[in-house]
């Protein structure tokens, strides 16, 4: 009996190994497609592929960690953290996963808090009825116009969410306008587009979530409704670019333009500050002259540092001198005063420009 059991045991191990190998081989193409979709900013499709692959092979902690990143990009903080907890159960000592969990936890707290602080009106007025556009369009759209802006949302979303976004625009108009002491003279065209399921020929890189080019365009990727905290920060970021363009007439250095947009949209988070500190230790922080080149020309890692460094410089300026000085500086630039002279006139010797 003992001798007879040996080959049966070996056979069982062989069959089990083949079964595991087959499941892994079935899962692999899904995981590869998920990674490819993520790189193309097709985050919902990335999530879908990860989930399909996990039906066949749920043994790899790094897959759950990568799935969490995709959930992070669509603003689903809860599912991102849930998958990181699974990854940590599979690999408790992973410092990468622990850092990722800390980052996403901080993002969740911040983006939820900025919406809570606004005290938005959750009941939609009975006379709030946006236009529904569908003729000749691939996807139906909502559109509404006010004295200060014209908003198009593609495709249609829940009417309550649309109403909340309109309130976010009003808050952006008032708060950013107050900080820079400038309000647009004309109605601003704003488009918010869900890139999931859209056949869009975009003229901006897929890593861009917002752009101001005379109009404000916001992009998000979600299977359902957009994450309002993210939409609000993107609106504030691009609205800042709009006002800077109006004040300086296009005569603003890249680092100041991007640094102000970043600072007025949200503060640097702790993980971003640590990233800058590490770059400082490695002597890889860019100089102001290097920050004057278009950030879109930089590599992914250099671009990240450029945005963060610009925001850190501007935040230091604001902490030392306040927004009134920023207003004066921008007005000087609007009068075509060279940046060095504008700084000397506005700040004197504060050791920022090098």
Nearest-CA neighbor of 151 among 175, 167, 135?
167
Confidence of residue 19 (pLDDT cuts 50, 70, 90): very low
**241 C-beta neighbours (distance < 10 Å), count:** 20
Across-strand partners of 212?
Answer: 216
DSSP-derived 3-state class of residue 220? strand
Confidence of residue 16 (pLDDT cuts 50, 70, 90): very low
**In the chain, ranges of CATH 1.25.40.10 domains:** 2-116
Give dist(CA 325, CA 331) in Å, integer. Answer: 10
DSSP-derived 3-state class of residue 181? coil
Tens digits of residue pLDDT in 296-340: 788 888 888 999 999 999 999 999 999 999 999 999 999 999 988
The per-residue pLDDT for 86 is 97
Give dist(CA 131, CA 285) in Å, integer. Answer: 48
The per-residue pLDDT for 353 is 52
The per-residue pLDDT for 98 is 97
Question: Residue 294: exposed, middle, or buried by beta-carbon count in 10 A (0-12, 13-18, 19+)?
Answer: exposed
pLDDT higher than 80, residue 224: yes
Q: Is the domain 2-116 a CATH 1.25.40.10 member?
A: yes
Beta-strand pair 149-154/141-145: antiparallel
pTM of the model: 0.89
Asked if residues 240 and 212 have their Cβ atoms less than 8 Å apart, the reply is no
The per-residue pLDDT for 204 is 58
DSSP-derived 3-state class of residue 211? strand
Cis peptide before 272 (omega within 30 of 0): no
pLDDT higher than 90, residue 231: yes
DSSP letters of 12-63?
Answer: HHHHHHHHHHHHHHHHHHHHHHHHHHHHTT-HHHHHHHHHHHHTT----HHH
Mean pLDDT, residues 225-243: 96
């Amino acid at each position: 009996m003992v001798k007879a059991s040996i080959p049966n045991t070996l056979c069982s191990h062989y069959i089990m190994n083949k079964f595991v190998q087959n499941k892994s081989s079935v899962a692999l193409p899904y995981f590869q497609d998920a990674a490819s979709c993520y790189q193309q900013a097709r985050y919902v499709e990335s999530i879908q592929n990860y989930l399909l692959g996990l039906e066949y092979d749920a043994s790899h902690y790094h897959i759950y960690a990568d799935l969490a990143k995709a959930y992070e990009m669509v603003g689903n903080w809860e599912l991102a953290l849930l998958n990181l907890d699974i990854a940590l159960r599979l690999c408790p000592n992973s410092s990468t996963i622990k850092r990722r969990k800390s980052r996403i936890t901080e993002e969740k707290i911040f983006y939820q808090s900025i919406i809570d602080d606004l005290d938005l009106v959750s009941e939609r007025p009975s006379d709030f009825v946006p236009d529904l556009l569908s003729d000749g369009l691939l996807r139906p759209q909502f559109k509404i116009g006010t004295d200060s802006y014209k908003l198009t949302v593609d495709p249609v979303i829940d009417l309550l969410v649309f109403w909340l976004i309109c309130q976010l625009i009003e808050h952006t108009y008032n708060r950013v306008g107050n900080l820079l002491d400038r309000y647009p003279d004309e109605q601003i065209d704003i488009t918010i587009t869900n890139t999931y399921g859209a056949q869009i020929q975009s003229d901006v890189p897929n890593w861009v979530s917002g752009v101001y080019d005379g109009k404000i365009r916001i992009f998000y990727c979600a299977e359902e409704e957009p994450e309002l905290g993210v939409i609000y920060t993107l609106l504030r970021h691009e609205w800042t670019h709009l006002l800077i363009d109006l004040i300086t007439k296009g005569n603003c250095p890249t680092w100041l333009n991007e640094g102000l947009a970043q600072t007025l949209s949200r503060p640097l988070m702790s993980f971003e500050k640590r990233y800058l500190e590490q770059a400082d230790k490695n002597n890889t922080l860019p100089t102001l002259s290097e920050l004057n080149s278009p950030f879109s020309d930089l590599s992914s890692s250099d671009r990240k540092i450029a945005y963060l460094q610009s925001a850190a410089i501007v935040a230091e300026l604001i902490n030392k001198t306040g927004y009134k000085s920023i207003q004066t500086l921008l007005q000087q630039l609007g009068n075509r005063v060279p940046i060095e002279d504008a700084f000397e006139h506005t700040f004197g010797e504060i050791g920022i420009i090098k």
